[in-house]
């Protein structure tokens, strides 16, 4: 049976009840008063029993890098996996973006203008990540744009209002799937994800209503390999879309690079037109027949 961290008995409540019982007993009969420290000892024993029955947290330290494979959202690439399961309306939008990209225009790819990649694209891990596990929150640090995700595992419910963010709001739950006394799977649900976003640089779109829900299951395949089963629920899809992302662990000679999008970004959008920034700061057109930046003048 799966063990979960959420909904555990609270030692503080037990201690309060035991202290109250001791106080009542002392008031009713001096002979029945418990020995000094016995109430606290009982509470400590109960707390220790709860602790012993709670699985330990896993060691997911180190640097996790994207395993080899396509940078398309499905790791095997669209050529092998087939096209994304988009509705007719959003398939037409994707095809339009594809035609524009083939013409040299980075349409439908918000990070090309330095917007955050957002969820679930951040979990593609084009650049490495670090996972920091604490009892209340698991932090996922992505080198790309120095993005942080906070996955709350303290048993909280969804707030009445969530301020939308590119990475959304995530609640997680630990599971001990093999009952060996150590948590081995983190299930995550993410809501309130802000747009505009795309799944990848191929500009596969999300619905404009930003009602996306993302479900994840992170677990180790072995000590050096992690698998993230990601299911996206979005109104631009014909149904839930599940892909597997695989990460490989680095424990030695770890290097974290600073990624600042504006420092290296060569794309510039003026109105509806895209240009490429050259080394000397001049702009080059990105498509044939593109309008000039300065209108031609007659002599």
Spatial CA neighbour of 215 closest among 195, 243, 238: 243
Q: Are 222 and 238 in contact (CB under 8 A)?
A: no
Phi, psi of 110 (to 5 degrees): -55, -40
Q: Give the closest residue to 166 by CA, choosing from 152, 146, 182, 186.
A: 146
Task: Judge contact between 184 and 58, C-beta under 8 A.
Answer: yes
Q: Give me the tens of pLDDT residue by residue for the chain, a chain 299 residues long.
A: 444 444 333 333 333 333 334 433 444 444 445 555 555 565 555 444 445 678 999 999 999 999 999 999 999 999 999 999 999 999 999 999 999 999 878 889 999 888 999 999 999 999 999 999 999 999 999 998 888 999 999 999 999 999 999 999 999 999 999 999 999 999 999 999 999 999 999 999 999 999 999 999 999 999 999 999 999 999 999 999 999 999 999 999 999 988 777 777 777 777 777 777 787 877 877 777 776 665 555 55
Closest CA to 191 of 214, 207, 157: 214
pLDDT for residue 59? 97
Contact between residue 47 and residue 11 where contact means Cβ atoms under 8 Å apart? yes
For 252, list phi and psi in degrees, rounded to 5: -125, 150
Say what the pLDDT of residue 145 is.
85
- Cβ burial 255-271 (10 Å sphere, 16+ → b, else e): eeeeeebeeeeebeeee
| Residue 262 CA neighbour count, 13 Å, CB half | 1
The pLDDT, as a whole number, for residue 54 is: 86
> What's the confidence (pLDDT) of residue 266?
72
């Amino acid at each position: 049976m799966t063990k979960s961290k959420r909904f555990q008995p609270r030692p503080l409540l037990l201690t309060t009840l035991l202290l109250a019982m001791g106080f009542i007993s002392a008031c009713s009969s001096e002979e029945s008063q418990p020995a000094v420290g016995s109430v606290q000892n009982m509470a400590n024993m109960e707390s220790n029993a709860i602790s012993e029955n709670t699985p330990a947290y896993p060691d997911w330290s180190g640097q996790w890098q994207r395993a080899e494979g396509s940078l398309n959202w499905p790791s095997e690439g669209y050529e092998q996996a087939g096209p994304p399961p988009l509705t007719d309306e959003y398939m037409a939008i994707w095809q339009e973006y594809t035609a524009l990209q083939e013409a040299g225009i980075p349409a439908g790819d918000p990070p090309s203008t330095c917007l955050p990649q957002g969820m679930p694209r951040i979990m593609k891990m084009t650049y490495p990540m670090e996972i920091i596990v604490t009892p209340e929150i698991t932090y996922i640090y992505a080198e790309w744009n120095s993005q942080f995700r906070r996955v709350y595992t303290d048993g909280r419910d969804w707030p009445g209002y969530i301020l939308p963010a590119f990475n959304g709001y995530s609640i997680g739950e630990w599971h001990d799937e093999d009952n060996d006394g150590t948590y081995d799977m983190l299930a995550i649900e993410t809501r309130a994800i802000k747009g505009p976003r795309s799944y990848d640089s191929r500009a596969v779109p999300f619905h404009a209503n930003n009602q996306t829900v993302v479900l994840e299951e992170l677990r180790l395949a072995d000590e050096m390999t992690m698998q993230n089963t990601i299911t996206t629920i979005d109104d631009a899809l014909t149904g839930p879309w599940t892909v597997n992302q695989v990460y490989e662990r680095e424990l030695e000679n770890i290097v974290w690079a600073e990624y600042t999008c504006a420092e290296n970004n060569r794309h510039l959008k003026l109105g509806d037109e895209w240009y490429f920034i050259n080394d000397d700061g001049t702009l080059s057109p990105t498509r044939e027949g593109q309008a000039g930046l300065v209108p031609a003048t007659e002599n």
